[in-house]
Amino acid sequence: MEPSIPKTSSLTLTQIIPLYIGSVLGSGILLLPGLTADSSGPASLLAWILMSILAIPMALSMGFLSVKYPHAGGVSYFVSKAFNPEIGMLVGWFFLLSAIIAVPIIALTGAGYASSAFGLGDSGRIIISAIIMVIAVVSNFFGMRLTGKVQMTVVIATVLILIGAIAGSIPSINMENFIPFMPNGWISVGHSATLIFWCFLGWEAISHVTEEFENPGRDVVRGTIISSIIISILYLATAFAVIGTKCYGPGISDVSLIHLINLSFGTSGMIIAGIITLFITTAPAIAYTGAAGRLAYTISKSGYGPKVFTLLHTRFFTPVGSLIFLIICYFCILLIFMSGKISLDILIQIPNTTFILTYFAGCAAGLILLKNDKIGLIVSFISLILTGAIFCFTGKAMFWPLILILIWILFLKFRKQYQSNNN
């Protein structure tokens, strides 16, 4: 989610913390507690703890880079600055292709909650998902942007659902549900950690306003650590509640919180949560689509993408070519999901691999750009090692970004030959 940052002369720590939380806390927490519990049982809590620990150096690394190089381009800009524009554009393509899959996943998450709350079944879920994706594209077609107030409302709504589900589940938690603790071994815990990475994305999203921090050097560290702790507590408590009440398993793992709320507050609570979840997921779908559309336009204008991406609407000046490309891709992903050949937990692994490599590249950039900052250098190195280790658990999904890298190398080779032949 791309938060809309208020334009102030100086941002204090109390203002910075909500910005960080708003950048990171998203719809992934609605989906992943059940999926990770299904994958590794109660031991998935270890994966949540591991990712909570990794989030701190990773966020600090992005924070230090943002202070030194404030820019809306985020990780792609850091990588371009540290290495070269070609690698930076590859990272840009990583985000673009991740968003193509991420938006349908977000839509399916919200639609899954709504269809479960209202008993609409699989067909209802598909229809609602399609509506969310169309809203995301049409909103950006007309140049609509989410305001800071709307995005903060999304964060508050998400927090309220989590706190309500956690608090309401306390009487129903049974410690016997934590036995056996690790039914599927350590490998499954590593796999769960790769899924959970989705919930810790976005630390670089406020990189273009770090120059407005009252005391950047101090507030980045304090703001990051405090935000990480708050987010991690919410995530861990939610995962604990889902496991403790056994609200996961075949058919319900991807909508575990709706069943947790039903257990605590009954049908009326479930219906209210289903409605709120539609709002929670539609907002980031709009934001992701807007970011992806603008990025595709930028990539194309830089000469690293199809020219069709540069087509602008004559009235709204929005990237029509990019948006048409996105909506076609969205529905292709939805059709693949409808075929039943790929489940949501497998689908989410694909963009996660490129997201992980994006942050891996960002941490590598930190080693170069923060070489004169001892703490920045240390946290970048730690993040690089841990992110690389997590990538090793992505399984077959790791071939997706590796194939993209190979295609990129071939593209650059062809591009240079074409340019030399025309000079």
**CATH code of residue 201:** 1.20.1740.10
218-251 pLDDT per residue, tens: 888 888 899 999 999 999 999 999 999 999 988 8
What integer pLDDT is reported at residue 2 of this predicted model? 41
First to last CA, the chain: 42
Please say if the pLDDT value at position 208 is more than 70. no
Rounded to the nearest integer, the mean pLDDT of the chain is: 89
Beta carbons of 93 and 85 less than 8 angstroms apart: no
Q: Please report, to the nearest 10 degrees, the dihedral formed by the alpha carbons of residues 367, 371, 376, 378 taken in order.
A: 70
Among 66-80, 96-110, 356-370, whose mean pLDDT is lowest? 66-80
Residue 192 is assigned to a structural domain of this protein? yes
At 168-194, the pLDDT tens digits run 999 999 999 999 999 999 999 999 999
Cα 58 from Cα 50, distance rounded (Å): 12
- pLDDT for the residue 7: 45
Q: What is the spatial distance between Cα 297 and Cα 313, in angstroms, rounded to a whole number?
A: 12
Contacting residues for 418 by C-beta, under 8 A, at least 6 apart = none
- Residue 332: its pLDDT value, please? 96
pLDDT digits (tens, 9 = 90+) for 115-134: 999 999 999 999 999 999 99
pLDDT for 104: 96
pTM over 0.85: yes
pLDDT digits (tens, 9 = 90+) for 295-347: 899 888 888 888 888 888 888 888 999 999 999 999 999 999 999 888 888 89
pLDDT of residue 277: 92
pLDDT at 8: 45
| Residue 6: pLDDT over 50 | no
Residue 375 lies in a domain: yes
Average pLDDT rounded to a whole number, residues 40-49: 96
Distance of CA 252 to the CA centre of its chain: 22
Query: Would 72 be classed as within a structural domain?
Result: yes
SS (H, E, C) the chain: CCCCCCCCCCECHHHHHHHHHHHHCCCHHHHHHHHHHHHHHHHHHHHHHHHHHHHHHHHHHHHHHHHHCCCCCCHHHHHHHHCCHHHHHHHHHHHHHHHHHHHHHHHHHHHHHHHHHHCCHHHHHHHHHHHHHHHHHHHHHCCCCCCHHHHHHHHHHHHHHHHHHHHHHHHHCCHHHHCCCCCCHHHHHHHHHHHHHHHHCCHHHHHHHHHHECCHHHHHHHHHHHHHHHHHHHHHHHHHHHHHCCCCCCCCHHHHHHHHHHHHHHHHHHHHHHHHHHHHHHHHHHHHHHHHHHHHHHHHHCCCCCHHHHCCCCCCCCCHHHHHHHHHHHHHHHHHHHCCCCCHHHHCHHHHHHHHHHHHHHHHHHHHHCCCCHHHHHHHHHHHHHHHHHHCCCHHHHHHHHHHHHHHHHHHHHHHHHHHHCC
User: Which residues, other chains included, contact 375 with Cβ-Cβ below 8 Å and sequence gap of 6+?
Assistant: 60, 64, 221
Is residue 2 situated within a structural domain? no
Check: CB of residue 22 under 8 Å from CB of residue 158.
no
Considering only the C-alpha atoms of the chain, give the largest distance between any 2 of them, rounded to a whole number of Å.
74
Residue-level pLDDT at 314 = 80
The tally of domains found in the chain comes to: 1
pLDDT at 253 over 70: yes
Split at pLDDT 50, 70, 90, the class of 4 is very low
Which of 120-134, 285-299, 364-378 shows the lowest per-residue confidence on average (mean pLDDT)?
A: 285-299
Residue position matching structure tokens 């940052």: 5
Query: Using an 8 Å Cβ cutoff, are 8 and 149 in contact?
Result: no
Sign of CA dihedral 109, 110, 113, 115: negative
Residue 1 lies in a domain: no
148 falls in which pLDDT band (50, 70, 90)?
low
Predicted pLDDT of residue 342: 87
- Tokens 């004559």 — which residue? 314
* Residue 5 confidence (pLDDT): 37
Residues spanned by the domain of 395: 13-421
Domain annotation covers residue 3: no
How far is 362 from 204, CA to CA, in rounded Å?
10
CA distance 282 to 75: 25
In this predicted structure, the answer to whether residue 9 has a pLDDT above a threshold of 70 is no
Whether 291 is in a domain gets the answer yes
How much is the pLDDT for 146? Answer: 62
